[in-house]
Structure 1
Amino acid sequence: MLLHLPAVLDPAELTQVRRALDDADWTDGRETVGAQGREVKRNRQLPDASALRHALAAQVQSALARHPLFHAATLPLRMLPPRFNRYEGGGEYGFHVDGAVMALPDGNQLRSDIAGTLFLADPASYDGGELIVSDTYGEHAVKLPAGDLVVYPANSLHRVAPVTSGARVAAFFWVQSLVRDERRRRTLFELDQAIQALRASRADTAAVLQLTGVYHNLLREWSET
């Protein structure tokens, strides 16, 4: 499921994050990928160990926790703290598939079920830089307003188009979901959104309660902890 989540960061938060990143020291983005990624990746990233990366990652995670759609869409069990990258001067990331298993800071491991890209630059300020996600329905180009997030299956073939002018700045991360199967996550998300709409419309309380029970029973059956 490829899903757009608007306004993860509000304007004040976005301004604060961008000011910090504008003054940041960036390193070669190839330092965080394997041999296959190094062949197609040309960008810069905040060093994983930097204090700025840790502070901004915590801020983004706090914003995600508050967003009304993030939990419903991802059902997060574990999350790799966000990293931050910058593409400019023709920088790009060719087609690739994300690693299946990633190390977490606490020594545990994460199965990458869902990938997320949080756009931090005004799309009018740079040319190119679209996130291209390929699936059985073709290629989908994503270029969102600053502060907006896209989440998509981490097993998707995807790339970042060359940035021919300006700079594309973003945060990116991965989530291990309570529900491994993407189709089941989609079903639960659609059911959750239908329940929320029925509650807002003051639909029959008993029927809404019954549907809520169905949701939780499916989640109980499908979840892995």
Structure 2
Amino acid sequence: MIRIIPDLIDAAGVKALRTILDRADWIDGNETSGPQAALAKRNQQLPEFGDAAVEAGRMVIDALGRSPLFMAAALPLKIYPPFFNRYSGGEAFGDHIDNAVRMRRGTDFRIRSDLSATLFLADPDSYEGGGLVIEGMAEAPGLKLPAGHLILYPSSTVHRVEPVTGGVRVASFMWIQSMIRDQAQRNLLFDLDLGVQGAAAAMGQGDPTVVRLTGVYHNLLRQWADA
């Protein structure tokens, strides 16, 4: 299931991130590519352990933790520290599937990639092309969200970034290992969570029906979660 998280980062936050990114030194994006991705990938990327990536990544992780919608949709157990990339001059990333397991170089940090996320950091009108196309997504020319919006999608899907033919496309991307490995179970919990929130808003948190539905949610989470 594809989820859009609007306004994960507000305009001021996007400006602060872009100040960091636009002053940084960028490298060839294939520095961190696997064999399959390297054949399809043409872009630039911030060095993973550079000061700019670490500072900006911390800001993104903080924003994710403050988003109830992201937390409900992803139910994250681990989040790989965010990467940052940019495309210009015809650069693109052809069809690929993200690696099932990501290991951070020089550390013992390892993650199973259940979900992939792209956080847009450039206004759609500031670049031409560069749409994100995800297998099964209705938008044929690709998705271009406002700066600060995030899209969450299964890492198992084939996806690509269309060539950027004008301007510069800047984004952050990351992978999430969910507490709920099964996508159908994760979708069910998301829908139930939204239903519980709606019932609580209408009837009050202490209403017996709301209490019972909340219990169902947590008992299913208890049964299915790896935590």
Same fold (TM over 0.5): yes
Secondary structure of the 1:201 match is helix
- Give the C-alpha shift of residue 23 in structure 1: 1.5
Which residue number corresponds to residue 4 of structure 1? 4
| 2:159 match: secondary structure | strand
Counterparts of 1:12 and 1:210, CA distance in 2: 40
Supply the RMSD in Å over aligned alpha carbons: 1.6
The equivalent residue for 1:45 is: 45
Write out aligned runs for 1:76-87 (5 A): 76-87=76-87
1:1-225 to 2 correspondences below 5 Å: 1-104=1-104, 106-135=107-136, 141-202=142-203, 205-225=207-227
CA contact (8 A) 1:133 1:139 kept: no
Closer, same or farther: CA 138–17 of 1 in aligned 2, 3 Å? closer
Give 1:192 shift.
Answer: 0.2
Q: Distance in 2 between matches of 1:164 and 1:140?
A: 14
Is the CA contact (8 Å cut-off) linking 2:92 and 2:130 kept in structure 1?
Answer: yes
Query: Number of paired residues?
Result: 225
Task: Return the alpha-carbon distance in structure 2 between the equivalents of residues 104 and 59 of structure 1.
Answer: 19
Percent identity over the alignment?
47
Shift of 1:137: 7.3
Q: How far off its partner does 1:10 sit? A: 1.2
Where in structure 2 are there 5+ consecutive unaligned residues?
none
What's the CA shift for 1:22?
Answer: 1.4
Deviation at 1:224, TM superposition (A): 1.2
In structure 2, C-alpha distance between the alignment counterparts of 1:108 and 1:81, rounded to whole Å: 10
TM-score, normalised by the number of residues in structure 1:
0.96
Mapped partners of 1:5, 1:15: distance in 2: 18
Offset from partner CA, 1:119-138 (integer Å, 9 cap, x none): 00000000111110003979
The question of whether the paired residues in 1 share the 8 Å contact of 2:26 and 2:47 is answered with yes
Which letter maps to 1:109? R
C-alpha displacement at 1:65, in angstroms? 0.4
Structure 1: runs of 5 or more not aligned: none
Q: Tell me which stretches of 4 or more aligned residues in structure 1 moved more than 2 Å.
A: 135-141
Amino acid at match of 2:212: Q
